[in-house]
Copies of this chain bind each other. A is one copy, B any other.
Amino acid sequence: MSKSTQKSKIDRTGDRFELTRGSHARETAEDYVEAIARLIEEKGTCRGVDLAKLFQVTQVTVSKTLSRLQSEGLVDYEPYGPISLTKSGATMASYARERHEVVLEFLRSIGVSEEIAQVDAEGIEHHVSPETLEAFRTIARRKGTC
């Protein structure tokens, strides 16, 4: 033993490339919990059909994704029932929403048109670290100025 880790697997020292599988699943989770929170807030309830319309995918896709998110402890629902967030899901939703809003406000503040800002924010939000988010906040705050 102590022949050091034979076969060594992978050295993840300083990798700026995240493993895409895990990354993409996290992005999906963030979009879902954010949408669920908003739907519940805006129309009192959230159903699979609402998410399917919003994300432009079939209800089947939504159903399968929700079941994954439930198994991960983010959402809660019974078959054929309305969808709610767990405490952990609600926490993720609130962070996701805050980040989304900051990114969107930031894009508007640097003169990106509304439609484009909406689309870009939807993607960028998932790749913004706390440090970058803070820098975005600062810029958005002095919108127009300078």
Which residues does A use to contact B, with CB under 8 Å? 10-12, 14-20, 23-24, 27-28, 31, 54-58, 107, 110-113, 115-120, 122-124, 126-129, 131-132, 135-136, 138-139, 146
Interface of A is mostly: helix
Provided the pairs A56-B12, A146-B146 are in contact, do residues A124 and B127 lie with their beta carbons within 8 angstroms?
Answer: yes
Give the copy number.
Answer: 2
Contact of A17 among B11, B58, B122 (CB under 8 A): B122
Contact of A24 among B16, B20, B128 (CB under 8 A): B20
Contact of A58 among B10, B107, B129, B135 (CB under 8 A): B10
Q: Is the CB of A56 within 8 A of B10?
A: yes
Complex Cα distance A129/B24, Å? 20
Q: Is the CB of B111 within 8 A of A120?
A: no
Q: Is the CB of B116 within 8 A of A131?
A: yes
- Tell me the smallest distance from the CB of A73 to a CB of chain B, in Å: 22
Provided the pairs A24-B20, A56-B15, A58-B10 are in contact, do residues A123 and B127 lie with their beta carbons within 8 angstroms?
Answer: yes
Could you say which residues of chain B place their CB within 8 Å of the CB of A56?
10-12, 15, 17, 19
Q: Is the CB of B123 within 8 A of A135?
A: no
- Tell me the smallest distance from the CB of A128 to a CB of chain B, in Å: 6
